Structure 1
Amino acid sequence: MLFAARTHVDRVVMEAFAEAVDEMDEGPAKELMDQVCSLYALASIEEDRAWFLEHGRLNTTRSRAVTAQVNTLCQQLRPHVSTLVDALGIPDGLITAPIAQV
């Protein structure tokens, strides 16, 4: 039941996110948000890939491709981490982990 609820929320968030990106003016901000949107979708699939594999919705080759694409998107978004964190309004005091330091 919890899996179904979380999956439903993921779908609703993904649809709203994709719609908001589609409505943005063309430019670097839209391109960046499109990458973030793709990362959100693929990371959700990756997180639940066992279910997708078990139910024949994904094969092992595509499962590996999803993970590879998640890793690629993370690498591509790395230079924009400060911009993304600033856009979320996260206070500096909460960003204390060594990995968060640019």
Structure 2
Amino acid sequence: MLRFREEHLIGGVARRLKRGVDSGMNPGEVFSRVQDHVIASARAHVEREILEAFVDKVAATPEGPLHDVLNALCDLYALSTIEADRAWFLEHGRLTSTRSKAITREVGDLCRRLRPVAGDLVAAFAVPEALLRAPDLIGEQR
């Protein structure tokens, strides 16, 4: 789904840029007019790249507890990314409302499954204490 969104958005940007330049508009003006589409395309590209790198790293991790946690985190990333842009996926026929609701439920389930290791994850990623908005939510009193 992330690859489809990226390719669709990039194709749309290319068509808009070409149409503007072909009509004789100043290229800078054309770019300014499609800047929101360029930014959306860039975001979609980065999100897809992150997911693919994440999938590769999980696949390279030996079976065991670490693999299970990383796999759940990867699923959470993928599903929460789709959930965050579900309107786009709905508008483009890639998601039904029933499936959208199922994704939201699964995101909640994954968060609950990962809750017991949240403190370990924060420590593993070396998140500075000053950046933690609600440290008591991860089970550690500070």
- Shorter-chain TM-score bucket reads over 0.9
1:76 equivalent among 113, 123, 137 = 113
1:31 aligns with 2:54: no
Shift of 1:100: 3.7
User: Who is 1:9 aligned against?
Assistant: 46
1:55 to 92, 97, 103: 92
Specify the SS of the correspondent of 1:2: helix
Taking every aligned residue pair, what percent have the same amino acid on both sides? 47
Counterpart amino acid of 1:64?
K
Q: How many residues align?
A: 102
Deviation string, structure 1 residues 6-58 (Cα, Å, up to 9, x no partner): 01100000000000010001100000000000000000000000000001100
Shift of 1:80: 0.6
1:44 is aligned with what amino acid?
T
Query: What amino acid is aligned across from residue 71 of structure 2 in structure 1?
Result: D
Gaps of 5+ in 1: none
Give yes or no for contact 2:80–2:107 (8 Å, CA) kept in 1: yes
Q: Residues 119 and 138 of structure 2 are in contact (CA less than 8 Å); yes or no, is this contact kept in structure 1? A: no
Q: Which has the larger radius of gyration?
A: 2
1:44 is aligned to 2:81: yes
Structure 1 residue 99: Cα displacement: 5.0
CA distance in 1, matches of 2:125, 2:86: 28
Partner amino acid for 2:131? Answer: L
2:123 aligned counterpart, secondary structure = helix
Structure 1 runs of 4+ with >2 Å offset: 91-101
